[in-house]
A and B are shown apart, each in its own frame.
Chain A
């Protein structure tokens, strides 16, 4: 029984790896070959940004889904989804640097400092980076109680990411508002965690 379950987990993990990586490879392959419409840069930035937010939402949905539906084996996939969210966010940032401002470092740095929505997005990436670096079982053991404290920052990261999305659009706010609603629902499930701050 135990080994059967383990096998199942490995298969599901392999499928998640394949989906996350293939989608990314497909997007960049098309973009490199000018196959993503007139402006491949905009297409790639949108794809990786929305992808990072989607993955973060899925990973934060796992705990409430387990609570509601007792689907406990899902917990095995939470960490990798969170890490992939960081990978997509990192590609978003690197694409901005390499393809949008095209290694104009001055522009890159001033944009991140001077534009509030860019600053928020950058802050979210820094949080996701620190969570990714401390995501292994070994580090988790070493950190003890402080690990959970650090990883509660993910809630701030998802708020920053959805505000970043809202502020980045020109006028079509319907999609960002749908995302913000989903994020609010996910946070509502954790309301007990936040009570001490309120």
Chain B
């Protein structure tokens, strides 16, 4: 069900990638079940075409993208990013997509717009986790996330429409998802139908569920532990079974400090976790 994409490949291929088979079978996407293997099993008949992504709120131009627009309106490029899950495992994934900043530029945010809110599709008929509390892990639906506008406009922030050169499999957030590589994975919201520019900070799903465990910023930070486990190190999922020695130190901002540290100058990242 995935199709090949035309894109500009990334030239720097130094990092060891997580195998595609693992990227598409180990997913946190509670809309299709709370266990890691549920999404790949329950999402295969998910219909992503037709699709509508609406960019609205405090913008000059309200935009509605349909399914074809997602892959054709902007030039696509490959971005190989580390993905650090808040559960202390990580992957290296070759995404294909376009910068969120180019989409926002097209919508022309008003000067009053300070935050960007994102929303996942709500469709309990197609998403069994939304229909059943047992399967869906008891979080609120639709899943919502948010960024400060300067975070959203950072060149690293990607709207991904593919991985490993093909369109996204449904379990990875087809047809379009956010990727914010310096934040914990739950910020990178999947299967987006709405982007809204706001003048105040929007609510976010995991923060609503457990504010002491999941902050609005959720920047990868080895110095601030999750209340139930250390964030100082992580297990990098690549190849190999049980004996793979894959525990590595977690880097501040997941190693993207050079590009994003300036966004948080003067902020107490211990309080704003």
Q: Chain A: residues with CB nearer than 8 A to chain B?
A: 28, 31-42, 44, 99-102, 104, 107, 110-111, 115, 117, 167-168, 170-174
Q: Contact at A34–B137, with CB atoms within 8 Å? A: no
Q: Give B240's nearest chain A residue, CB to CB.
A: A34
Q: Give B88's nearest chain A residue, CB to CB.
A: A100
- A107: chain B residues at CB < 8 Å are 230, 232-233
- A41: chain B residues at CB < 8 Å are 235, 242
Cα–Cα, bound, A146→B228 (Å): 37
Number of residues of chain B lying within 8 A (CB) of chain A: 35
- B239: chain A residues at CB < 8 Å are 34
Main secondary structure of the interface of B (DSSP, over half): loop
Of A38, A102, A171, which is within 8 A of B237 by CB? Answer: A38
Q: Chain B: residues with CB nearer than 8 A to chain A?
A: 18, 21-23, 25-26, 30, 34, 36-37, 87, 89, 133-134, 137-139, 209-210, 227-230, 232-233, 235, 237, 239-243, 245-247
Cα–Cα, bound, A102→B245 (Å): 7
| Nearest chain A CB to B220 CB, angstrom units | 18
- B137: chain A residues at CB < 8 Å are 170-172
- B233: chain A residues at CB < 8 Å are 104, 107
- B34: chain A residues at CB < 8 Å are 170-172
The 4 closest A-B CB pairs, nearest first, are A38-B26, A38-B22, A34-B241, A172-B137
Of A104, A111, A168, which is within 8 A of B247 by CB? Answer: A104
- B230: chain A residues at CB < 8 Å are 107, 110-111
A38 with B25: in contact, given A117-B228, A171-B137 (CB under 8 Å)?
yes
- A171: chain B residues at CB < 8 Å are 30, 34, 137-139, 209-210
Cα–Cα, bound, A101→B235 (Å): 9
| Nearest chain B CB to A99 CB, angstrom units | 5
Q: Contact at B247–A102, with CB atoms within 8 Å? A: yes
Q: Contact at A38–B228, with CB atoms within 8 Å? A: no
